[in-house]
Amino acid sequence: MKGKPPMKLKKLSAALSAKARTGIAGFDEITQGGLPGGRTTLLEGGPGSGKTLMALQTLVNGARLDNEPGIFVAFEESTERIAANAENFGWDLAALREKKLFLLDAQQSPDLVQAGDFTLDGMLAVLAAKVREIKARRIVFDALDVLLALLNDPVAERREMFRLHEWLLAQGLSAVITCKAGGPANQAAPEPQLSFMQFMVDCAVVLNQEMVQGVSQRNLRVVKYRGSAFSENEAPFLFGEAGLEVAGARDLGGLSRPDGPVSTERVSSGVARLDAMLDGGYYRGASVLITGFPGTAKSTLSGAFSEAACLRGERTLFISFDSDANEVVRNLASVNIRLERFVKKGLLRLVSARAATGSAEIHLMQIKHLAQVHRARCVVIDPVSSLCKSGNENTAHNVAERLLNWTKAEGITLVCTSLLDEAAQQVASTPLQVSTIADTWIHLNYLVHAGERNRGLSIVKSRGTAHSNQERELILSKDGVTLADAYTAGGEVLMGTLRWEKERAMQGAQDKREAVKKVAEATLEAEEALLEVRLKAVQLELEVKRGERQALNRSAADRTSDLARGQTQLQELRGVDEK
């Protein structure tokens, strides 16, 4: 049946096709499809805010992904410099420039003299010819403010902006105009030309860079978008290896990203008894949080999980913010968690991010990138609380949340640890509030009792899992990691020596019970034997009696036959006549 697509879907696809997707990770989600197709977008931001790169990236992606040729008009930088910058992101402009991308060097020489009125007609004529030649669908005017400044007259500036806009609409080009905006302080009162441009265009995006306690934070915001819904919030972004990447906040009920698949498969935590406590292990694709004070073996549990994952043959990424990769291997080897073999095999990627600096956002992007490159099915982040180092307090929570959302959508099983400040005693909540969104939360702590400090493990929560509510003792030895039952006596959990003593006492009682049982068994055995002997004797007696009776019967029969024979002989002797 050649059914027509439902009307709703048709409308939706028509609306989407009217957008020029940018191919910039995250940005197309925020704008629900990209920039307005055949219309003009203003990209404003301070120096170094990433306007030029973002604009160029939309052209490169348009040419690559949608086969839409584009023209880049550079007013401020030489085309060579722009191309060189682009090479850092592996965009391969050289190949594109042959047919699909034209870079127009429109810098005006500094010794240009003005003598009277002028217009942008020359540029529009040149561009019109070029648009026809390469069948361009997209165009970028980078740093248009530089050109407009030459006009040196607000009225002329407006007139030329208006003409440019009309020309763009007539050509049906998807255009991006970048323009310098002052710093954050100036944004309250933008320059008149800028505000006119904001009014004129169909879509306006502001790029921002600010320093928060010495950490650079970049974000962008869609200010307006005629005829389209968009996310109005500031979205953090960074320059990744392939260009701009925008952290698209997941909207409530957003279309852009469906829920990830939910698995009922269990994966081992690497500690057999912990699996038992969790009714089989962690769920595949779950996010697990291990909290605890320093030295409570958080890293060890993460290591055990990694080893188990590698033993299953699953590619695993282990990111340590605390130690060097070699230290992680060495430290875990001391408790018989041997990771080196998997590192050598390439199954396990150990990354030390100890010296890494940057915003939480950058860390998240890097983690994502590493996981994608490694094709990891399991990811360990030790500790995730490193994300909220100085300057990141505001964004770290959001970042952690998106990290968890992302691993869930990808079906990656995530184990992250979080350091708790012993002094603060923040047991009920972790600094990032990851605990509220994590699927399984395991808490490790020390129990100090009778002069000993022992490690305790308890499962605070585990969604969708029947789990033990008892605190266990975590035992690390050169043979590995295991859990021991904790005894409760008088309402207190016994660990360490106390547990050992209790175990010994229990063992003694057990031994005694077994001895008693052995005696009882022996007695019964003897009685049984006696009865068996008696049974045998009676059986023998029975045999004898039977024999006697048989003998008796036989002698009686013999007598009868003897008697008959005797009569015959007598008759013969007497000569009895035959009848």
Contact segment (CB under 8 A) with another protein among 41-49, 112-120, 268-276, 445-453 equals 112-120
- Pick one of 17, 88, 119, 507: the residue that binds another protein (CB under 8 A): 119
Residues 6+ apart with CB under 8 A from 348: 306, 310, 315, 316, 317, 318, 339, 342
User: Residue 51 Cβ, how far from another protein at the closest point, in Å?
Assistant: 20
User: Residue 41 Cβ, how far from another protein at the closest point, in Å?
Assistant: 21
User: Residue 105 Cβ, how far from another protein at the closest point, in Å?
Assistant: 7
The answer to the question of residue 578 lying near another protein (CB under 8 A) is no
User: Residue 150 Cβ, how far from another protein at the closest point, in Å?
Assistant: 7
Cβ of 388: how many Cβ atoms within 10 Å? 20
User: Residue 108 Cβ, how far from another protein at the closest point, in Å?
Assistant: 7
**In whole angstroms, what is the distance from residue 333 CA to residue 317 CA?**
18
How is the beta sheet containing 316-320 ordered, strand by strand?
348-352, 316-320, 378-382, 413-419, 287-292, 440-449, 452-462, 472-477, 480-484
Considering only residues 188 through 207, tell me which ones interact with another protein, judged by CB under 8 A: none
- Pick one of 1, 7, 14, 113: the residue that binds another protein (CB under 8 A): 113
The answer to the question of residue 121 lying near another protein (CB under 8 A) is yes
**In whole angstroms, what is the distance from residue 474 CA to residue 300 CA?**
11
Amino acid at 362: I
- Pick one of 56, 123, 175, 420: the residue that binds another protein (CB under 8 A): 123
Count of residues that bind another protein according to CB under 8 A: 26
Find the Cα–Cα–Cα–Cα dihedral 373, 377, 383, 389, rounded to 10°. Answer: 40
Residue 20 or residue 104: which is nearer to another protein going by CB? 104
User: Residue 43 Cβ, how far from another protein at the closest point, in Å?
Assistant: 20
Residue 117 or residue 562: which is nearer to another protein going by CB? 117
Beta bridge partners, 317, equal: 349, 379
**In whole angstroms, what is the distance from residue 232 CA to residue 222 CA?**
6
Nearest to 321 by CA among 261, 392, 266: 392
User: Residue 121 Cβ, how far from another protein at the closest point, in Å?
Assistant: 3
- Pick one of 42, 43, 71, 106: the residue that binds another protein (CB under 8 A): 106
Considering only residues 76 through 105, tell me which ones interact with another protein, judged by CB under 8 A: 104-105
- Pick one of 118, 162, 199, 500: the residue that binds another protein (CB under 8 A): 118
User: Residue 159 Cβ, how far from another protein at the closest point, in Å?
Assistant: 12
**In whole angstroms, what is the distance from residue 253 CA to residue 259 CA?**
10
Contact segment (CB under 8 A) with another protein among 40-48, 124-132, 166-174, 182-190 equals 124-132
* DSSP track, 156-187: HHHHHHHHHHHHHHHHT-EEEEEEE---GGGG
**In whole angstroms, what is the distance from residue 330 CA to residue 343 CA?**
13
- Pick one of 16, 126, 149, 460: the residue that binds another protein (CB under 8 A): 126
**In whole angstroms, what is the distance from residue 53 CA to residue 87 CA?**
11
User: Residue 84 Cβ, how far from another protein at the closest point, in Å?
Assistant: 20
Residue 117 or residue 578: which is nearer to another protein going by CB? 117
Residues 411, 260 contacting (CB under 8 angstroms): yes
Residue 160 or residue 439: which is nearer to another protein going by CB? 160
271 burial (CB, 10 Å; 0-12 / 13-18 / 19+) is buried
**E strand or H helix that includes residue 204:** strand 203-212
User: Residue 328 Cβ, how far from another protein at the closest point, in Å?
Assistant: 58
Residue 104 or residue 235: which is nearer to another protein going by CB? 104
Residues 348, 305 contacting (CB under 8 angstroms): no
- Pick one of 97, 130, 159, 461: the residue that binds another protein (CB under 8 A): 130
The answer to the question of residue 412 lying near another protein (CB under 8 A) is no
The answer to the question of residue 114 lying near another protein (CB under 8 A) is yes
Residue 106 or residue 495: which is nearer to another protein going by CB? 106
The answer to the question of residue 175 lying near another protein (CB under 8 A) is no
Contact segment (CB under 8 A) with another protein among 127-135, 195-203, 244-252, 489-497 equals 127-135
Considering only residues 148 through 167, tell me which ones interact with another protein, judged by CB under 8 A: 150
* DSSP track, 530-571: HHHHHHHHHHHHHHHHHHHHHHHHHHHHHHHHHHHHHHHHHH
Cβ of 239: how many Cβ atoms within 10 Å? 17
Cβ of 512: how many Cβ atoms within 10 Å? 10
Residue 128 or residue 311: which is nearer to another protein going by CB? 128
The answer to the question of residue 125 lying near another protein (CB under 8 A) is yes
Contact segment (CB under 8 A) with another protein among 107-115, 199-207, 317-325, 402-410 equals 107-115
Residues 349, 370 contacting (CB under 8 angstroms): yes
* DSSP track, 225-262: ETTS----S-EEEEEETTEEEE-PPPPTT-SSSPPPP-
Alpha helices (H) in 3-67, listed in sequence order: 7-17, 27-30, 51-65
The answer to the question of residue 122 lying near another protein (CB under 8 A) is yes
> Which residues contact another protein by CB under 8 A?
104-109, 111-123, 125-126, 128-130, 147, 150
